[in-house]
Chains A and B, each alone.
Chain A
């Protein structure tokens, strides 16, 4: 079964850091681009970042550039999101998703999400 399981969320103070992880199983992780997508409480979906199969290309939404870093470890079938200088507006459920570029471009598998709360 194709599965993505996020972890690492929690409560953090403004200005703090957090590292999210996503464990992939049931497919060849190293063959896919991967993304992080977030959803603030009561709000819509927002694409955050994605990373190429070998990690050589990474793209970010403007609001997180310079603060968040996406990475992956293909040997561990894992995706990461290092979040620094966190702000209240980063409070959201963060979803890990598998990218598909067959039809330019969408997310065909989603995890259940991990909740990040930025508050003092």
Chain B
């Protein structure tokens, strides 16, 4: 049982837009801590995709965007491409645990 809640899977056709939600609680996202997103391609290590709710590291396409409101956050991917097929994880800080917490991950399938 992950501290942050994500849908297990989402799917979309090439070119479409999909969103992945991430819901937390008053000790993490709701406490004002930032939300970050990671992309994990099959068989590889996670890679930082979005940091500080909506910022993209250098090299990440602007098709990826993030937002946060209250105790939830969202990752949006527009113009879906086959290479976007991966697992996506949200992450925040939890004051009751004094450490990082992750969502359970969402598998994106490009139809």
Contact B34 A61 (CB under 8 A): no
CB of A88 within 8 Å of the partner chain: no
Given A103-B53, A103-B55, A106-B91: A45 in contact with B102 (beta carbons within 8 A): yes
Q: How many A-B residue pairs have CB under 8 A?
A: 74
CB of A27 within 8 Å of the partner chain: no
For chain B, which range describes its interface: under 10, 10 to 19, 20 to 34, or 35 or more residues? Answer: 20 to 34
Tell me how many residues of A have a C-beta within 8 Å of chain B: 26
For residue B52, which residues in chain A have a CB less than 8 angstroms away from its CB?
A: 102-103, 106
CB of A29 within 8 Å of the partner chain: no
For residue B55, which residues in chain A have a CB less than 8 angstroms away from its CB?
A: 103
Question: Which of A49, A103, A112 touches B34 (beta carbons < 8 Å)?
Answer: A103
Q: Which positions 24-63 of chain A face chain B at CB distance < 8 Å? A: 35, 37, 44-47, 49-50, 59-62
Q: Which positions 63-97 of chain A face chain B at CB distance < 8 Å? A: 95
Which A residues fall within an 8 A CB radius of B?
A: 35, 37, 44-47, 49-50, 59-62, 95, 100, 102-113
Closest 7 pairs (CB-CB, A-B): A103-B52, A47-B100, A106-B36, A44-B105, A103-B34, A45-B102, A110-B45
